[in-house]
Structure 1
Amino acid sequence: MKYIWILTIVGLWACSTPDPTKKDKEESLGKGASTGYDSLLAAACGADAYGMRSYIMANLVAGPNRDQDSATAARLQRAHLDNITRMAEEGKLVLAGPFLDGGDVRGIYVFAVETVEEAEALTATDPAIQAGRLKMELRPWYGSAALMKVGEIHEKLAKKEI
């Protein structure tokens, strides 16, 4: 009976000892890290250790000059969309879209540039901004580096071009 107790105690101790390979893995990855880390993809997206990066976020706000006739407004909208496409193709704009509530904040842009000044220069090329139909509110933003792949994925989902 004495030997059974000794074996039971040794068995319980052995089961409660942490797996050293698990600890080494956790230390090398860091707390909360996933095992699906892709260093090449992270580098291509400009990701930091958290899978994040900095962007410039823009709110597109209704500008002071919104009284154009319908033909002029449609022409400005087409030029605005063409400008969005150009900035996206250059890799400067990673996300854009309108809000659907009809409020004063008309939409958003997420620029993959380093400074607000770079984003200001890009927004200055927008015909709707130039005409005063829209204006931009720009601020630095920290978000997932995965946004850098949104355009690539979007191309696989869209049947029509904007």
Structure 2
Amino acid sequence: MAGLDRVRRRMIDTPTPQDGVVPMPARGPVWGPPCPQHALVLDGNDVLDCWLAETRAERNQGLLGTDSLEGALWIRRCSNVHTFRMRYAIDVVLVRRDGRVHAVETLAPGRFSRPRLYGLDTVELPAGLARTLGIVPGRVLTCRRLPDADACGL
């Protein structure tokens, strides 16, 4: 329970424009590097820049504190997400262990995704982008590290 309390406290302490603090617009997650380190790969083809959330802290923070997302956020070991305290809608893609897309749904701010038994990882995209890219159940979706990822300034 102590871990959950820290997450709640962090969510409550996130500055908002109503607090008189206007957060800088972020291209991706506020906890991540300034440029994406990975590529989202659909059926063997790179389609989008991608950030990867692997640690508990990264998964808990997710896209909180961002105004938009330019690319994708791949969240390891996550079968459902929420959009509370988010300012924009997102597409949520659940990926099975074999890399196949299990489900795709669009979430407006203030909503929970449906938990799915077969989802291993979750990919968050700007709303409508999954449809534009043709991400539908059955297609293969993976995340690969970019060869020049370290040139980003880390």
Q: TM-score, normalised by structure 2?
A: 0.24
Q: TM-score, normalised by structure 1?
A: 0.23
Structure number with larger C-alpha Rg = 1
* Higher percent of residues as strand: 2
* Higher percent of residues as helix: 1
Larger RCO (CA under 8 A, 6+ residues apart): 1
